Structure 1
């Protein structure tokens, strides 16, 4: 995940969980809300869940959490995809991808790999560059029809339903639309007229972020969780995974404050939010920034306050700059990444099936892998998006597209 672009905040409640959460606005109102919320946070929490503190988790809970973390630290296998087929049947066709924003590093990397892989099968893949504005997405959909694209990907977290009129228009013109990395596999309500789906495991990512923090703090987490919930379908699923795990494992001993900051405000709002939380909450021991692009804005106030020894960071995307922080320091302790090579191939797989007139795969997503101090060097030195996931995706899809199976 992705980093879908968001433009407004929505109310968010905990569905009855006893983990404490607060929704706040950005800018001056956000800071005021944080200041006013400085009381009413009962309970205690250690800075790092050190070995000298009694765990609030049962031995069974600890073992369960550790097993899940260990599972996702291993090199991933290729998730199952559809029936074997000859991908060269799509040769001569053009794929256009409209990402949520071309400025988002992970999304752009996936599009570059998609273009490279597609070219091996005689297919042209292009990215419609945009700065994350809805009117630009609409323009991209119109451009697809006018430029001769044969299939269009609405990609990297944009809600396909906001482009339903354009999707219907393209369908009528004989141009299928694929939702590429938008929906969590658990999502049941999908936009109409889509020719195929490539899922993103957002809820699992949120679970893993929370699981790590709970395990590292021995069930005594005191967390600021920063998300960007707004007009999207991605982050709410991720946040639901975070909330679910804290409610499951430590509803009485963990404390979590949730703050939403839309992407356009990250550079100006995240650092003040973290600084204010440090001031009002001396027991803070973790910040979960749900996407890697938040980390630099989280790290700055932690460093200024001299709090990097007691407050750690967990995040998502395994971007090279953040994985390098894990390799070289101890502030960022956890980053769950998504195999960008696998994702690009999963998208091409669905596109090529559609272009060849075949039914789309019913199950399609990329594998996840956790990076921490023990395995971060597997991402390379310096780290790269394409490193650390093994060759299962490249080998498996190559075999699948030859018509002989995974």
Structure 2
């Protein structure tokens, strides 16, 4: 890449990051003004969900945004030009843990795309532990592949291995490795593939506003020990606060590793505290509703709600199964996991060709029983054909 091209790329990247950061800061500022709920606690006022007349103007914009996000056949808005396939490369996907459906879904998409472009794709499982992830990264660097994927973990946790890869000239592409999509200087990522957290948080709040007609009592489930999750939940709170008829009844801070044991107990307590005013829930990850379902069932609540539950993240197969069977989850904001695997291959192909990253960020989607057609993943159309055309495959 020429210095002039590199300069243009850095300026464009900085502009994109600046816009995203400005949007996030605006929402976070609004979140700071939200009252009636203390972050990281389950304390909140048991207020009426009728509210002071809802929020007609906000409802209109929320409904339009949700309708757009619920489309099942959106036109491909990703790259249509780029370098032809570079042949004979090996890429290693280092997985945080292959038991995470999101990580596994991206790895499967990467394998599929790797087969099409003619590369060898190897997956090394970090097994979910710091020691396992560090060992997996060390193994990946030792293989001296053409590229390494940081699959779902913080590059800072393997800083030594990241530095070794960078020094060896091995490009790194992240998937959910840092908060923002796009290239990163620290850590040194050619690009990071992810949806925008502010978009996911925003559409989750808008779905509740639209679904409730601007009158809802909401419980938010988060893990405040994880900065990314805390940011997402703060943004969701800010989005909900834009509607005067929506009340945040409680924020449940449940660390993800403790969700299996704690969520059922908290659900029982919440049902006792808010038997009539709790109409909707939103969680930073679908898994909370997997653990909540038995408690709702034991309390005699119908699977079709209320409360109507939306997961702001991942969209794993079990979430789709709950949604499609109408069992204690109404919607999810899923990642296009297979598409992201194909994008990772395309980003590496650009890196190997001396081109800048594509800058593509997948738009948010909302999946419900009405639009999923029984599917267990969100697999939008068009990307396979587009990437094949770019690569000449």
Q: TM-score, normalised by structure 2?
A: 0.83
The structure with the largest helix share of the pair is 2
Name the counterpart of 1:18.
34
| TM superposition score normalised by structure 1 | 0.80
Q: Aligned residue for 2:252?
A: 259
Aligned equivalents of 2:64, 2:310: Cα separation in 1: 18
CA distance in 2, matches of 1:374, 1:339: 18
Inter-partner Cα distance in structure 1 for 2:155 and 2:138? 15
User: Is 2:45 aligned against 1:41?
Assistant: yes
1:17-55: CA deviation from partner (whole Å, max 9, x where unpaired): 22433334xxxxxxxx64xx4xx6153026xxxxxx995
Contact 1:271 1:298 in 2 (8 A): yes
2:282 is paired with a residue whose SS is: strand
Task: Name 1:288's counterpart in structure 2.
Answer: 282
1:241 aligns with 2:235: yes
Does the 8 A contact of 1:203 with 1:240 survive in 2? no
Residue deviations 1:219-240 (CA, integer Å, cap 9, x gap) = 23222211224345x4244223
Is the contact made by 1:227 and 1:261 (CA closer than 8 Å) also made in structure 2?
yes
Structure 2 gaps, min length 5: 1-27
CA contact (8 A) 2:54 2:243 kept: no
Q: State how far apart, in whole Å, the 1-side matches of 2:194 and 2:116 are.
A: 24
Equivalent-residue separation in structure 1 for 2:184 and 2:168 (angstroms): 25
Q: Does 1:78 align with 2:76?
A: yes
Cα distance change of structure 1 residues 401 and 186 upon mapping to structure 2, 3 Å threshold? closer
Residue equivalent to 2:388: 398
Q: Deviations over 1:163-204 (max 9, x none)?
A: 333211111122221222334447998623222232322221
Mapped partners of 2:353, 2:249: distance in 1: 48
Q: The residue matched to 2:163 in structure 1 has which SS?
A: helix
How many residue pairs get aligned? The number is 361
Which residue of 341, 355, 360 corresponds with 2:338? 341
2:110, 2:342 within 8 Å by CA — same for their partners in 1? yes
- Conservation of the 8 A alpha-carbon contact between 1:202 and 1:235: no
CA distance in 2, matches of 1:184, 1:77: 26
Task: Return closer, same or farther for 1:325/1:193 CA change in 2, 3 Å cut-off.
Answer: closer
Aligned match of 2:25: none
Of 364, 368, 373, the residue aligned with 2:360 is: 364
* 2:137 counterpart residue number: 141
Q: Tell whether 2:116 aligns with 1:120.
A: yes
CA RMSD of aligned residues (A): 2.7
1:376–1:195 CA distance, 2 compared to 1 (3 A): closer
Change (3 A) 1:193 1:371: closer
Structure 1 portions without partners, runs of 5+: 1-11, 25-32, 47-52
- Contact 1:224 / 1:258 at 8 angstroms: preserved in 2? yes
CA deviations on 1:79-110 (whole Å, 9 max, x unpaired) are 333841112x1x22211112332111121021
